[in-house]
Chain A
Amino acid sequence: MASRRGRGSSGGALVRIWPFAWLVVFFALPCLLVLRISLSEVATAQPPYRPVIDWSAGLDGVLAAAAELSLDNFRLLLDDGLYWQSALSSVRLAATATLLLLVVGYPMAHAAARLAKRWREIVVILIVLPFWTSFLIRVYAWIGILKPEGLLNTALLKVGIIAAPLEILNTETAILIGLVYSYLPFMVLPLYATLEKLDGTLIEAAQDLGATPTKAFWAVTVPLSWPGIVAGTLLCFIPMVGEFVIPDLLGGSETLMIGRTLWSEFFGNRDWPLASAVAVVLLVLLVGPIVVFRELEARRSAPGAGGRTGGS
């Protein structure tokens, strides 16, 4: 009996350790590697940087490294406007796209959740369907639509709405279109999941108590779909800040986005240490909003934190 229990608990321990082990091997260690590279200097070598710590010198090597720890790469990021400008414009574009996604995605999710069960399933399949085509191909397709002699301009010219082709491709508008299009399922699905679970009698109760349908929406539906809003926002905002493919293909050469900057440092300039420093800063930039969102969510769902009644 005792041995059986012993084996059972060691198996249980394995199950508990497993996710942490996974995170350590595939998240924490790579992060540390990147952090290490970001502290080193460029070298014409393979890989193209000089290691910070001279392991052959033992403890002395570690101490020497600590004494002359170089934060030069990070200092450069602050000094050269290019980097913080591209970080800033990434955050700005991602935030704008997230707002647009909420505006476009919320009504879609809301409408889908209100459909009869059979239609709901079909709509969910339709939302997921684009994933069956390569992401890259779908973004390329947008070039065909948005370019001066593309589908959109041809159609608009034919109908006579515009006299000259619109300049959309290689602008921020094109990036926003691409971002909203590509990330829409990531916004709609979490919203749909919470809205589908929403108890319809709560809306009836709000209306019964004198709230117009609009007021009932803002006072009941929106607050109760908050977890979906948070999840959708995080799922979209975070990868959009570091997005590379969409700005690269639709945004043209002048686009400042941190993902592109990172790419050109790595592969254009072969400056791994600087590129790693950019990656570290990007990570820190993204952890910020996650912490804020989690804090907001915790505060909202905290027991006894009443009083947020809305609708007044």
Chain B
Amino acid sequence: MATRNEHVAVGAVRRNFAPWSEPGAEPLIRFDGVTKRYGAVTAVDALSLSIYEREFFCLLGPSGCGKTTLMRLLAGFETPDEGRVLLAGVDQAAIPPHLRPVNMMFQSYALFPHMSVEGNIAFGLRQEGLPRDEIRARVDDMLRLVQLSGLAKRRPDQLSGGQRQRVALARALAKRPKVLLLDEPLAALDKKLREATQFELMDIQMSLGTTFLVVTHDQEEAMAMADRIAVMGHGRIAQLDPPNVIYEQPASRYVAQFIGDVNLLEGEVTGRDGDLCTVSCPAVGSALLVASTEPSAPGQAVAVAIRPEKMRLGRGLPPPGTANAIVGEVWDIGYLGDWTTYVIRLADGHLLRASQANVARFVEQPLTWEETVHAVFAPDAAVLLSR
């Protein structure tokens, strides 16, 4: 039902899309020192952020991090206590929600239960006072776009969850907004449908050229769809980067832990040779070598962040002289089919996660419980985090 195979060209067009790195590019949306408080709680804290035209932008964070408030500030349902929200250079402070050139797809979809699919999609166009023929044509276009042409007369309660999601999308896109706001757009769908819909959203965004601002707590969703992700925590932006940078070069322990699995080994910088830092980690026993361009002085407390898939496991003790070898015993094994995750217990009780791709179907002697193993990683496979 939700399969489309037309998302071929996306990568090609996307390859060189990076307006945020072009000097002098005007952002479409600008949050300028925005603060929003609810009583004693500061939901958004002096936050500044620029989003560019045609961008697929994700606000990612746990619940309560202020991401939804930020979106509602842009839609006009909340007013900032401090700072400005600008859209295409215009301060939105005095503009009520119904006059803003943004449309929102609500998490609950908020479809009007007393109207048909057609009526829901036409609602926004009717408010504009468009002629009847034009409304009909635009509604038909939208129904085709989300592949619901046969269901125009249905009521929302006669639709499946996936179909409702499409109606909500069509309704929000019908007015051709400058910015489409999507609040947890895929949260209510099951896993299979979610993956298919991800690609569909990307296709639709590409073909319409609308700027998408997605709020989500699901990192996979954000990683798969976004041009850039803003990881939020406590009303601030913890990191703002493209997905691969967020994953491979997290800026802080918070970001590293929020995105994907990571092992954090706390320690202290003891020496530095060019880009190569020596870090002593009490949990490991031996010193670790980590490549880092960040200036870090000896004595500085840092965490060595290493993703499970960036370590290689070997049986027994490592050959003498091997750099970055962490010795422990297999504590737990999680077989996932494509990957196997090993939990390795270090001498001091620390647990380390290492995952290995199952490239061969049969292994003579697979690693087993309580076996002594060593995990090895290259100096540039880990990241030094000082925050």
Contact = CB atoms under 8 A, between A and B. Distances in A.
Interface of A: 199, 201-202, 204-213, 215-216, 219-220, 223-224, 300, 303-304, 306-312
Given A307-B118, A311-B127, 7 more contacts: A201-B110, A204-B77, A205-B104, A206-B112, A211-B123, A303-B157, A306-B118
A208 B126 contact: no
B110 A205 contact: yes
Given A201-B106, A304-B155, A207 B97 contact: yes
16 contacts: A201-B110, A202-B112, A204-B110, A208-B97, A208-B104, A208-B172, A209-B124, A209-B172, A210-B99, A210-B128, A211-B98, A211-B123, A309-B115, A309-B123, A311-B127, A312-B126
B244 interface: no
Interface in B162-209: 171-172, 175
B106 A209 contact: no
A308 B120 CA distance: 10
Contact of A209 (B77, B154, B175): B175
Interface string B110-131: 1111111111001110111000
Most A CB within 10 A of own CB, among B97, B114, B117: B114
Contacts of A224: 113-114
Most A CB within 10 A of own CB, among B117, B123, B157: B123
Contacts of B122: 309
A218 to B, nearest CB: 12
Given A210-B124, A210-B175, A312-B126, A306 B110 contact: no
B254 to A, nearest CB: 30
B153 interface: yes
B85 to A, nearest CB: 15
A215 B106 contact: no
A204 B97 contact: yes
A209 B122 CA distance: 10
B153 A219 contact: no
Nearest to B114: A223
Given A219-B123, A304-B155, A208 B98 contact: yes
A208 B127 contact: no
A210 B112 contact: no
B42 interface: no
A306 B98 contact: no
B158 A303 contact: yes
Contacts of B280: none
B123 A308 contact: no
B103 interface: yes
Nearest to B127: A210
A306 B114 CA distance: 7
Contacts of A219: 123
A219 B155 CA distance: 16
A219 B106 CA distance: 19
A211 B127 contact: yes
A199 B108 contact: yes
Give the top 9 A-B pairs by smallest Cβ distance, nearest first. Answer: A306-B116, A209-B124, A210-B127, A309-B119, A205-B110, A201-B110, A312-B126, A207-B97, A207-B98
Interface in B47-76: 75
B310 to A, nearest CB: 43
Most B CB within 10 A of own CB, among A199, A205, A215, A306: A205
Contacts of A307: 116, 118-119, 153
A208 B103 contact: yes
A202 B98 contact: no
Given A209-B127, A210-B98, A210-B127, A306 B106 contact: no
Given A211-B98, A303-B158, A309-B126, A205 B112 contact: yes
Contact of A208 (B75, B111, B154): B75
A209 B108 CA distance: 16
A212 B154 contact: no
Contacts of A215: 127
A213 to B, nearest CB: 8
Contacts of B113: 224
B119 to A, nearest CB: 4
Contacts of B118: 306-307
B153 A306 contact: yes
